[in-house]
Homo-oligomer: A and B are copies of this chain.
């Protein structure tokens, strides 16, 4: 078992040869499959979407609410994107928006009472779906994976 006897690679110039590349492709694949599942579940069972859930989750964690910019940074999405998602949640009465008294340009968005109740329902189901997927994953391996992903994230966040 030398360092180089994996599967193929050798002199093929491309073809997902190196370990980094395969790992990256696999990571993206896992994320994509999982997201697909979650999106379908949210759509079918609750008639909502993953991005809207993400916004609600971010707001739930901060009872005082967040500005649009803070939301955008928290969710890693563009500023303009948050605008439309928040607007939809607003139409549904799940979030409310109040002008920041310190800065009239900025609005503080927060969950309404209905929004908090709604989020708890969604989050419960969300947790259950995730737990189901990982039911057969040994806890010790899961801890290792969590640790490695944490390392990876700090690598990715560096030299952005």
Interface residues of A, Cβ cutoff 8 Å to B: 3, 13-15, 18-24, 26-37, 57, 60-61, 76, 119-120, 123-124, 127, 130-131, 133-134, 136-137, 139, 141-146, 148-153, 155-157, 160
Whether the Cβ atoms of A155 and B134 lie closer than 8 Å is yes
Q: Given A13-B120, A18-B127, A60-B14, do A23 and B152 touch, yes or no (CB 8 Å)? A: no
- From the candidates B20, B23, B156, name the one contacting A33 in the complex (CB within 8 A): B156
Tell which of A24, A57, A153 has the most Cβ of chain B within 10 Å. A24
- Is A153's CB under 8 angstroms from B30's CB? yes
Bound: A57/B15 CA distance, A: 8
| Chain B residues within an 8 Å CB radius of A34 | 24, 27-28, 156
Distance of A14 from chain B, by nearest CB (Å): 5
A29 touches B153 (CB 8 A): yes
CB–CB B149/A26 < 8 A? yes
For residue A137, which residues in chain B have a CB less than 8 angstroms away from its CB?
A: 20, 151-152, 155
Partner of A18, one of B37, B131, B148, B157: B131
Q: Are B33 and A30 in contact (CB-based, < 8 A)?
A: no
Contact A156 B21 (CB under 8 A): no
CB of B142 within 8 A of CB of A19, answer yes
A37 touches B120 (CB 8 A): no
Contact B30 A156 (CB under 8 A): yes
B27 and A127 form a contact (CB under 8 A): no
Known: A14-B123, A120-B14. A152 touches B30 (CB 8 A): yes
CB distance from A119 to the nearest CB of B (A): 8
